[in-house]
Amino acid sequence: MENKFDEVVEKLRFLDGVTKKSAKRMAIDLVNKNNKIENAQEALDIIKNDLGQCPTCFYMTIDNVCPICSDPDRDKNLIAVVSTMSDAMTIEEIHDYNGAYAVLNGEINLSKNITPDKLTIDKLFNRTNKNTELILALNSTFNGELTANYIRDIARQRGIKYTRLARGIPVGGVLDYVDEKTLSDALKNRKKDD
């Protein structure tokens, strides 16, 4: 019997943040609830038609406009380098950062064959000049550090200033789960990285 239901679960569980159990719960919740199905369909339509990724900084665009790159008050020489759109949005939520972003779309991960060329690192260095400061706001994990080191090496060769978030981020901590106060302090106390 479970064929079509299992198919639904398989189609939902590949999404970020969705486990097999939560995919099942979502699917069961949607059965016989036409208003919930419509809501979800509308959400997908908005994502498909109105949301995208900025070709410059890879932050989320709405109706093809990047709220960061299009804002003249943002300091474009200050670039926070983050691994995901979600991390950039987490920094936005502290309402305390006035620079730009470079979303890498991932981290270097050699065991998963994610080499530096799979990320947006070349696009990042197209934007840098002698006045640029890169804030390395990457996860304090093995692959996060690996990615930060790689970018630091290029920046050093090119004479570009780089800093990292203050050690307010606990070792092994994932940026997405850090509270706002810690993140805000870590931004303010960012250190020259050497």
- Report the interface residues with a second copy, using CB under 8 A: 1, 3-5, 7-8, 11-12, 14-18, 21-32, 34, 36-37, 39-44, 46-48, 50-53, 60, 62-63, 67, 84-86, 89
* AA identity, residue 35: N
Q: Residue 81 and residue 74: Cα distance in Å, rounded?
A: 15
Nearest to 134 by CA among 101, 157, 86: 101
Q: Residue 6 contacts by C-beta under 8 Å, 6 or more apart in sequence?
A: none
Q: Which is nearer to a second copy, 13 or 161 (CB)?
A: 13
Q: Which is nearer to a second copy, 37 or 153 (CB)?
A: 37
Q: Residue 132 and residue 135: Cα distance in Å, rounded?
A: 10
Least separation in angstroms between residue 117's CB and a second copy is 19
CB-based contact 50:63 (threshold 8 Å): yes
Least separation in angstroms between residue 116's CB and a second copy is 21
Least separation in angstroms between residue 16's CB and a second copy is 4
Q: Which is nearer to a second copy, 1 or 130 (CB)?
A: 1
Q: Residue 153 and residue 69: Cα distance in Å, rounded?
A: 26
Nearest to 191 by CA among 147, 152, 146: 152
Q: Which is nearer to a second copy, 10 or 153 (CB)?
A: 10
Least separation in angstroms between residue 90's CB and a second copy is 9
Q: Which is nearer to a second copy, 31 or 180 (CB)?
A: 31
